[in-house]
Amino acid sequence: MGKQYEIPMGAQHVSLLEPLHFKFTTENEKIVDTTANVYYVHRGIEQACCSKFKFRQVSFVVGRVCGLCSISHSTAYSQVAEKLVKIEIPRRAKYLRMLVIELDRIHSHLLCLSHVAENSGFEALFMKTMQYREFSMEMLEAICGNRIQYDFSIVGGVSRDLKPQVGQMVLDRLKNFKPQLEELLDIYQNNWTLSLKNKGAGAITREDALRLNVVGPFARAAGLDIDVRNETEDLLPWKEVGFEIVTEKAGDVHARNIVRLNELFVSMRMIENIINGLPESDLITETKAFPDGEAVVRLEAPRGELFYYAKGNKTQILERLKIKAPTFSNVSAMVEAFKGNEYGSTPAIIASYDPCLSCTSR
């Protein structure tokens, strides 16, 4: 047995995207043990939602929890608030919500993939992925009026309508994007240099993933078919617009890349279906009721299952709001997946987890 060294990494580090601290115990460059420390960026959003803001304003506050999955947070909150005030939203609003969630998934997944490439030392692929990602940002700007923090889902429906010419523009740009995505899939799948850093790195078995409660693309890469879009139909009709689950078996960084890329194909198909079959109805269900009782909502954010719990007491201000972000569920598995890897491959592994600490710590 060789000498063991402890290497701290974070909370500020060049290859870390988020304020997250890891302490690796290494032995001849092999990681034998890891501890993780999160909660560096606590902002007290839950408390603010329950004290300062009225329940209709909270959907804008929780939209600022995370820059990448803003729409997932505001949609999940809107759904939980709609359950509390007991209203059903119009069908068109449901479809528009799904449209923005899927466009958001495209840009979030491509960001993650580009960072995996960068942290594996493949700068050119990082640039290429970011270049191809730009179209989704522009489309989100055209639909929601903003590149980030869309403020699209509000309690009772959506805030803006999709203009026909914008819908047509999205379809045209998606047609351009498809060959680009195929090119990316080819590079991520077959590039020999990238495979040296990605294949076999950060692997987690299916049993471990099940035991440690992994969610999102992390779980789907390990062979678990966990996806909220596959399980619930009552709030958003995912299966109607052609959702299919994507899984891989290996559970390593490479498998996660492939799951993300294949999910983008599914997302693209869903966006096309949504725009082509957009139902005609109002955008908002108006109500003057106050939130009462308790409710729980699950939604598939780009990183996995997002969970919202809210409790109302017949006043304008909520009594309790609880947010459980997908990264929080994955932290224990992140620590597990480092074991037995080279220390040099940790940046790529961390990027492939796609951690979102501003969601986790709020």
Among 4, 47, 51, 146, binds other proteins (CB under 8 A): 146
166 is an interface residue for other proteins by CB under 8 A: yes
282 is an interface residue for other proteins by CB under 8 A: no
Residue 205 parent element (H or E): none
Of the ranges 16-24, 51-59, 171-179, 337-345, which one interacts with other proteins (CB under 8 A)? Answer: 51-59
Among 37, 149, 180, 247, binds other proteins (CB under 8 A): 149
State the minimum distance, in angstroms, from the CB of residue 186 to other proteins.
9
Among 136, 159, 257, 262, binds other proteins (CB under 8 A): 159
How many residues touch other proteins under the rule CB under 8 A: the total is 19
Q: Which of 359, 350, 297 is nearest to 328 (CA)?
A: 359
Spatial contact of 59 and 74, defined as CB atoms under 8 Å apart: yes
E strands in 123-174: 153-154, 157-158
The residue (of 138 and 342) whose beta carbon lies closer to other proteins is 138
E strands in 79-137: none
Spatial contact of 34 and 23, defined as CB atoms under 8 Å apart: yes
C-alpha–C-alpha distance, residues 246 and 61, integer Å: 32
Of the ranges 52-60, 91-99, 237-245, 271-279, which one interacts with other proteins (CB under 8 A)? Answer: 52-60
State the minimum distance, in angstroms, from the CB of residue 37 to other proteins.
32
The residue (of 138 and 336) whose beta carbon lies closer to other proteins is 138
Of the ranges 92-100, 147-155, 226-234, 337-345, which one interacts with other proteins (CB under 8 A)? Answer: 147-155
Q: What DSSP string runs through 240-271?
A: GGT------SS-SHHHHHHHHHHHHHHHHHHH
State the minimum distance, in angstroms, from the CB of residue 290 to other proteins.
15
Helix (H, G, I), strand (E, B) or coil at 295: strand
Helix (H, G, I), strand (E, B) or coil at 312: strand
What sign for the dihedral angle of Cα 257, 260, 263, 265?
Answer: negative
Residues between 101 and 140 with contacts to other proteins, criterion CB under 8 A: 131, 138
C-alpha–C-alpha distance, residues 117 and 187, integer Å: 10
151 is an interface residue for other proteins by CB under 8 A: yes
343 is an interface residue for other proteins by CB under 8 A: no
Binding site for other proteins (CB under 8 A): 53, 56-57, 60-61, 131, 138, 141-142, 144-146, 149, 151, 154, 159-160, 163, 166
